[in-house]
Structures are given as C-alpha cells and as structure tokens.
C-alpha cells in the first residue's frame, strides 16, 4: 500500500476519525486508502488504522467501536490508553436485549446464575490471568499502593496486611474467604496460622487453592460452592470478600447471610469496584467481560443493609487511585505478553482484555468508577431488617414524630 501524508481536511467529517484530532493528544489516523493524517503537538503516541470504508462509518457507541476493534476492522497501535479521553463524546447505548436479559437473570436462582456468569469469564484457564496479574498473591482486584514506585506484587501484600490488621486476625482463628481466586488469602493468612475456608465457583480456582494448601501444609480447605449455599457447623471469627460483591446484587440477602455466618464481634472486610449508580456497567462489559447480574458496588446501599442487619460500620476507605494503578499495570503486562496471549488464547481474547483493562484504568482515573473497602462488625442484635413497606413507614414515622 502506498503511504500518503494527508491533512486534517482528508478526514471524514463525522465518526471516530473526525473526533480524534479534537482530543489535543498527538496521534495519527490511517485511512483505508493509505493516507496518514497526524495531529497534535509532538510525535504521535498512537495510530488508529481504519481497514475499510465500513470501519470509518462505525456507529459512535462504545459497543460498536469495541466490536470493530475486536474484529480487526479498526486497529490501534501505540498508547491505546490515551484514546479513552474520547469516551465523553461517545454514546453509551445499552441494547434492549441486554436489559431484558439482565432482568431475566436477576430473577433466576442466584446460585446458578452466579456460577454461570463467573464460569463464563474464567473459561480461559489460570495461565491466561497469570500473564498480567501480580505474581505473588495473584489478586484480580485492587492492590494498595503506599509509594508511587511500588509494584503490584507489593501492593497486593499491603492489601493483605490491611485486611489482616483490620480484622484483628490471630493464629488459630477461622476465616471465611468468599471468592478465593488463586489463593492469595489462603497463602498469606494460612502461613500465619489462620484457618482459611475458601468458597469458589470455578473448578480451576478450587484445584489451584487445594494445591497450595497441600504443598505448603496450610490450615484450611476449599469448597466449590456458592456463598448462599454454605452452612458452616459453627460461625466464623471473620469473613473477607475481595472483589466479589459486584456479582451479588441482592445486598439484603447478602447482609442477612453474613450475619448468620459470623460470631458476635466477628468482622467483615469487603472491597470492590464501585459507582454511584448500581446497574450501569457498559454494554461492552455485559457482552464481552461480565454477563449475568454483574453490577457495581454501591457503597451507600451496602452500608444501609449492613446497618439494618445488625452490623456496625468500623471503617470505610477510598481506593480509587489504587485500582487505577492496578489496572494500568495489568494492561501494561497484558501488552507485554501480547505474542504469548495471541499464541495461547487467540487475538480476540487479547483485544477484548486490552480494551477491558485500559478502559477500566481510564474509568478510575476519570472517577467514572470508584473503589472502596469497608469493615463492618457483627453486633449481638439482628437489627430491624425491615421490609420495603416497613422501611417507608419507618421513614414517615421519623419525619412526623
């Protein structure tokens, strides 16, 4: 193909190619006829390549543009993260089919739906995720960074230190880990004499954690079981749930079940990716990343249910910047492992996760998403646990008392 250097006048008047020069970021666009148009001050840090005239006419929605990139109709070379500044000018249109599917899934049996949604995401096997997450504790949620130059391995250790201290864990205690991932909690707490019972919904995760327990002689066990089906012989001393609350939208049921599984004085440590609006994951996320009833952690609603169900809130901490840095490092590691990932899992998988990770990092950077951890302590009272009508009546009584 003959390369032609063009001017901004060479670009279409609408669509992504017309939008990019407005970002004031040095970049370039390559049109289907080979014309390259550079813009911004300085050397271009990215190039967007449109493979066809059809690609140029891609609708300006996140889902449509994401599909065009995943299929290869649109290619992005260089710093793809810089392009997410265009998000505010792109329509976020959730298809009606997704809304109907979400409602259907929401009213299905929660345990079956959780297992399917989690299973769909983790079908690629352990080795895929281990190409980009931290190598020490293998967390798929935010680390906690104490200094600007720390690695995500160090940040993951700080995450565990914070949890261990917040719960007041001691040798001989029994800890429930909901959604154990690749055994970071079992590895860290088990080595310090804490008996960890792990619940997971994926067979690969269960096998990985069991291997850790066996090889390192750690106190604990792992169950391939949904949290709502778990009925321990006696209450746990404490519970930790890292990055799983996004898959449990029924906070009332969650709070009630946690209360039953904790001894009085027992604590819950919970963290997750959050938003002000609970049911607002993007159309791209629902089609390519998290299906089922995935929602954002809404801090205000979780705190409300915990208070209604006999908990006292001990601590709440904002971790938005930590999640941004975590996802940026995951994205860089994914890009560094591009050839390995394409060879092992295909180019589509690489492209899907490239958009997911860089897009997620931008969402935290722009405060579209937030992240928090909270610590709650179970009291001896079950709390008022009101139904919706009782909550409305309670509000009216308090207004007019």
- The alpha carbon of 5 is separated from its chain's Cα centroid by a whole number of angstroms, namely 41
Beta-carbon contacts of 374 under 8 Å, excluding residues fewer than 6 positions away, are 269, 270, 271, 299, 302, 303, 313, 315, 316, 317
- CB count in 10 Å sphere of residue 67: 17
* The model's pTM: 0.91
Q: Region 22-49: what's the mean pLDDT?
A: 92
Q: Among 154, 132, 177, which Cα is nearest to 322's?
A: 154
Is residue 400 scored above 50 in pLDDT?
A: yes
Domain assignments of the chain as residue spans, ordered by start: 4-89, 102-389
How is residue 242 written in tokens? Answer: 């890292």
pLDDT tens digits, residue range 51-74? 999 999 999 999 999 999 999 999
Whole-number mean pLDDT of the chain? 91
Q: 3-class DSSP state for residue 35?
A: strand
Residue 280: beta bridge partners?
none
* Whether 23 contacts 44, CB under 8 Å: no
Q: Region 75-86: what's the mean pLDDT?
A: 92
pLDDT tens digits, residue range 104-141? 777 776 666 566 667 777 778 899 999 999 999 999 99
pLDDT tens digits, residue range 272-296? 999 998 887 788 888 888 877 788 8
How is residue 378 written in tokens? Answer: 């179970």
Q: 3-class DSSP state for residue 371?
A: strand
CA dihedral 356, 354, 75, 285 (to 10 degrees): -20
Q: Region 378-387: what's the mean pLDDT?
A: 93
**Which pLDDT band holds residue 398 (cuts at 50, 70, 90)?**
low
* Whether 144 contacts 317, CB under 8 Å: no
The pairing of strands 27-30 and 46-50 is parallel
Q: Report how far apart, in Å, the C-alpha atoms of 310 and of each of 14, 100, 236, 257, 385 are.
A: 56, 35, 16, 11, 8
CATH of 102-389, one of 3.40.190.10, 3.50.30.40, 1.10.10.10, 3.40.50.150: 3.40.50.150
pLDDT tens digits, residue range 81-104? 999 988 888 877 778 888 777 777
């Amino acid at each position: 193909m003959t390369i032609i250097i063009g001017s901004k006048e060479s670009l279409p008047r609408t669509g992504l190619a017309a939008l990019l020069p407005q970002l004031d970021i040095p970049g370039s666009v390559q049109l289907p006829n080979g014309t390259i148009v550079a813009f911004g001050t300085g050397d271009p840090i990215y190039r967007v390549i449109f493979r066809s005239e059809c690609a140029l006419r891609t609708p300006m929605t996140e889902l449509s543009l994401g599909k065009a990139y995943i299929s290869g109709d649109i290619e992005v070379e260089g710093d793809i993260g810089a392009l997410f500044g265009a998000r505010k000018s792109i329509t976020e249109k959730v298809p009606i089919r997704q809304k109907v599917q979400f409602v259907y899934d929401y009213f299905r049996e929660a345990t079956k739906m959780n297992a399917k949604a989690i299973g769909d995401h983790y079908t690629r096997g352990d080795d895929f995720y281990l190409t980009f997450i931290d190598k020490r504790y293998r967390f798929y949620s935010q680390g906690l960074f104490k200094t600007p130059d720390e690695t995500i391995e160090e940040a993951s250790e700080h995450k565990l230190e914070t949890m261990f201290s917040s719960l007041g864990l001691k040798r001989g205690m029994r800890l429930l880990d909901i959604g154990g991932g690749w055994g970071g909690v079992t590895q860290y707490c088990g080595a310090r004499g804490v008996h960890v019972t792990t619940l997971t919904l994926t067979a690969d995760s269960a096998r990985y954690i069991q291997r850790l327990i066996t090889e390192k002689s750690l106190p604990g066990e792992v169950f391939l079981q949904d949290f709502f089906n778990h009925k321990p012989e006696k209450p746990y001393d404490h519970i930790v749930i890292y990055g799983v609350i996004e898959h449990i939208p029924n906070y009332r049921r969650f709070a009630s079940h946690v209360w039953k599984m904790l001894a009085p004085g027992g604590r819950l440590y919970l963290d997750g990716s959050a938003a002000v609006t609970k049911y607002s994951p993007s159309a791209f996320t629902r089609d390519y990343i998290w299906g089922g009833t995935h929602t954002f952690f809404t801090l205000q609603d979780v705190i409300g249910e915990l208070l209604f169900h006999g908990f006292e809130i001990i601590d709440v901490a904002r971790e938005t910047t930590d999640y941004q840095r975590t996802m940026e490092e995951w994205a860089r590691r994914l890009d560094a492992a591009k050839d390995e990932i394409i060879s092992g899992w295909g180019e589509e998988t690489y492209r899907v996760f490239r958009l997911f990770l860089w897009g997620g990092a931008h969402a935290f950077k722009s405060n579209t998403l937030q992240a928090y951890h909270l610590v709650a302590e179970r009291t001896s009272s079950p709390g008022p646990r009101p139904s919706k009508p009782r909550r409305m009546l309670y509000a009216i009584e308090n207004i007019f008392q």
